[in-house]
């Protein structure tokens, strides 16, 4: 058995012992949403516009117990979803999870990322969250996935960050030392880790970090094992992340948690320092942020694409006026108040002109397809402005369909 095969086998044993994520199974669709798993909102984030079609193929690469897969099915009612994983035990849970909640448009295959070529066809959206960093060769893994991405398709990746997980790495090594020859016995590793945290002084840095950041998850042994006794983990910094991206051969679209990568939140009160950052490249600015706020960077999540991928900035007034707007499907309780949670579950407070336009967009949602109205038509009915429309679009609170789509202009006014 090669080293790579041995590592994959060890990872499979971990997840057969502790199927992951260890979330409860439901008899109904899962609550809430993750906008990165919704084809409409993910495509809008990457292109600035609503996608051309919704009957897409989606791959959940490394689906585990199907928590993300279940969302992918329920959030994308016209999509065909495929899940793969190297743990047969986790796949058994995934099948049961999706069956119980009515997520019927899904098929599962017992495959590793390296064997994804065995699946027929290409995919419009590939979701690979928390997987590549647990493989023996992440570059080979991302390249294998890239070969299955259709032209114009999107890939969402999530990998660990070394700076925000520094204490985790120390505890991983400490547990391994204490396990000695029992390393690879994951139940013993969880027991040793639990005993270590209980024995450490309350002001110990490793114990404090676990309590402050991870305790809500780690009360479950499955989460604890995944974090502290995993047999394979590669952590990244922004430079090595971009080495991974460049090796994929795909186009980097952007980090999918951009609020975290905003220098304004760290040094916005120092205009002279902000001015100095103007000469830095995007990658240098990312590096500066993780150096200044290392504990916040526990992971990197980002979108890649296979060209051609059409983009729309909506800078042209005439084009914006002819577009058809609709509310983002990842909003909750927004009709009751101009203060609500945005797609990232952060509170937004809209100006009256913004909220009025968002409310007016509600009539453009399916199934009311015979009454679609353009931005221009809505602005003639309410007190708002193009500035308010652009603000809603930048905040990803509305989706815009260009007027030149053949089947979009059902009611151009």
pLDDT tens digits for range 128-177: 999 999 999 999 999 999 999 999 999 999 999 999 999 999 999 999 99
- For residue 360, the enclosing domain spans 317-401
Q: How many Cα atoms sit within 13 Å of 234 on the Cβ side?
A: 16
17 within domain boundaries: yes
Same domain, yes or no: 282 and 191: no
Closest among 139, 301, 160, 164 to 230, alpha carbons compared: 160
294 within domain boundaries: yes
Same domain, yes or no: 49 and 194: no
Sheet holding 149-160, edge to edge: 106-110, 80-85, 57-61, 123-129, 149-160, 299-305, 251-255
Characterize the bridge pairing of strands 339-341 and 149-160.
unpaired
72 within domain boundaries: yes
Same domain, yes or no: 135 and 271: yes
365 within domain boundaries: yes
Same domain, yes or no: 18 and 89: yes
Domains contained in the chain, number: 3
pTM of the full structure:
0.95
How does residue 410 score in pLDDT terms, banded at 50, 70 and 90?
Answer: very low
Alpha helices (H) in 76-185, listed in sequence order = 88-101, 138-146, 166-179
How does residue 408 score in pLDDT terms, banded at 50, 70 and 90?
Answer: very low
pLDDT digits (tens, 9 = 90+) for 284-294: 999 999 999 99
Q: Give the pLDDT confidence score for residue 411 in this predicted structure.
A: 37
Angle of the 238-248 helix axis to the 138-146 helix axis, nearest 10:
40
User: Of the candidates 266, 281, 305, which is a domain's last residue?
Assistant: 305
Q: Give the pLDDT confidence score for residue 409 in this predicted structure.
A: 40
Closest among 247, 183, 248, 174 to 205, alpha carbons compared: 174
Taking the C-alpha atoms of residue 230 and residue 224, their distance in angstroms, rounded to an integer, is 9
Residue 302 to residues 91, 126, 199, 285, 296, Cα–Cα distance (Å): 25, 12, 38, 16, 16
Same domain, yes or no: 298 and 329: no
214 within domain boundaries: yes
User: In this structure, what are the phi and psi dihedrals at residue 283, rounded to the nearest 5 degrees?
Assistant: -65, -40
Q: Is the confidence at residue 368, as pLDDT, over 60? A: no
Average pLDDT, stretch 209-226? Answer: 95
Taking the C-alpha atoms of residue 88 and residue 173, their distance in angstroms, rounded to an integer, is 28
Same domain, yes or no: 189 and 72: no
Q: Is the confidence at residue 390, as pLDDT, over 60? A: yes
How does residue 364 score in pLDDT terms, banded at 50, 70 and 90?
Answer: confident
pLDDT over 70 percentage in the chain: 97
Task: State the CB neighbour count (10 A cutoff) for residue 238.
Answer: 22
The string of DSSP letters for 317-348 reads: HHHHHHSEEEE-SS-BS-SS-SEEE-TTS-EE
Q: Give the pLDDT confidence score for residue 404 in this predicted structure.
A: 80
User: Of the candidates 190, 212, 228, which is a domain's last residue?
Assistant: 228
Q: Give the pLDDT confidence score for residue 1 in this predicted structure.
A: 79
pLDDT, averaged across the chain: 95
Residue 210 to residues 27, 129, 358, 371, 374, Cα–Cα distance (Å): 32, 22, 41, 53, 51
Using an 8 Å Cβ cutoff, are 154 and 42 in contact?
Answer: yes
Using an 8 Å Cβ cutoff, are 184 and 9 in contact?
Answer: no
Q: Is the confidence at residue 412, as pLDDT, over 50? A: no
409 within domain boundaries: no
Q: Is the confidence at residue 413, as pLDDT, over 60? A: no
Taking the C-alpha atoms of residue 73 and residue 97, their distance in angstroms, rounded to an integer, is 12
412 within domain boundaries: no
Using an 8 Å Cβ cutoff, are 85 and 62 in contact?
Answer: yes
Q: Is the confidence at residue 104, as pLDDT, over 90? A: yes
110 within domain boundaries: yes
Same domain, yes or no: 224 and 288: no
Same domain, yes or no: 18 and 121: yes
pLDDT digits (tens, 9 = 90+) for 4-34: 999 999 999 999 999 999 999 999 999 999 9
Q: Is the confidence at residue 321, as pLDDT, over 80? A: yes
Q: Give the pLDDT confidence score for residue 377 in this predicted structure.
A: 96
């Amino acid at each position: 058995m090669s080293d790579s095969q041995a590592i994959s086998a060890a990872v499979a044993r971990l997840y057969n012992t502790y199927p992951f994520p260890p979330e409860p199974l439901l008899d109904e669709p899962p609550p809430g949403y993750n906008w990165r798993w919704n084809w409409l909102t993910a495509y809008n984030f990457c292109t600035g516009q609503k996608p051309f079609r919704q009957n897409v193929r989606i791959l959940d690469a490394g689906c585990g117990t199907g928590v993300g897969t279940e969302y992918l099915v329920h959030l994308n009612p016209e999509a065909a979803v495929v899940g793969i994983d190297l743990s047969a035990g986790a796949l058994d849970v995934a099948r049961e999870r999706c069956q119980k909640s009515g997520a019927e448009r899904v098929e599962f295959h017992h495959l590793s990322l390296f064997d994804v070529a065995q699946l027929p066809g290409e995919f419009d959206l590939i979701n690979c969250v928390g997987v590549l960093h647990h493989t023996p060769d992440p570059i080979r893994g991302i390249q294998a996935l890239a070969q299955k991405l259709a032209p114009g398709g999107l890939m969402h990746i999530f990998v660990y960050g070394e700076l925000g997980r520094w204490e985790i790495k120390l505890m991983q090594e400490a547990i391994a030392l204490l396990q000695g020859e029992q390393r690879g016995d994951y139940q013993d590793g969880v027991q040793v880790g639990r005993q270590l945290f209980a024995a450490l002084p309350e002001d110990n840095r490793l114990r404090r970090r676990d309590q402050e950041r991870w305790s809500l998850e780690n009360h479950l042994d499955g989460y604890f094992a995944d974090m502290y006794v995993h047999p394979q983990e590669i952590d990244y910094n922004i430079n090595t992340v971009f080495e991974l991206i460049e090796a994929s051969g795909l186009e980097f679209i952007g980090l999918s948690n951009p609020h975290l990568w905003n220098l304004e939140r760290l040094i916005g009160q120092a205009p002279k320092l902000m001015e100095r950052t103007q000469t830095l490249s995007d990658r240098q600015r990312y590096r500066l942020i993780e150096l200044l706020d290392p504990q916040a960077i526990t992971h990197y999540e980002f979108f890649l694409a296979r060209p051609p991928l059409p983009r729309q900035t909506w800078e042209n007034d005439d084009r914006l006026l002819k577009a058809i707007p609709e509310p983002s499907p990842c909003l909750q309780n927004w009709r009751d108040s101009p203060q609500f949670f945005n797609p990232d579950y952060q509170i937004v407070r809209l100006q009256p002109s913004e909220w009025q336009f968002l409310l007016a967009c509600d009539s453009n949602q399916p199934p009311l397809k015979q009454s679609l109205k353009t931005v221009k038509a809505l602005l003639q009915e309410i007190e708002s402005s193009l500035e308010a429309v652009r603000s809603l679009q930048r905040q990803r609170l509305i989706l815009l369909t260009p007027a030149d789509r053949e089947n979009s202009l059902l009611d151009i006014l």
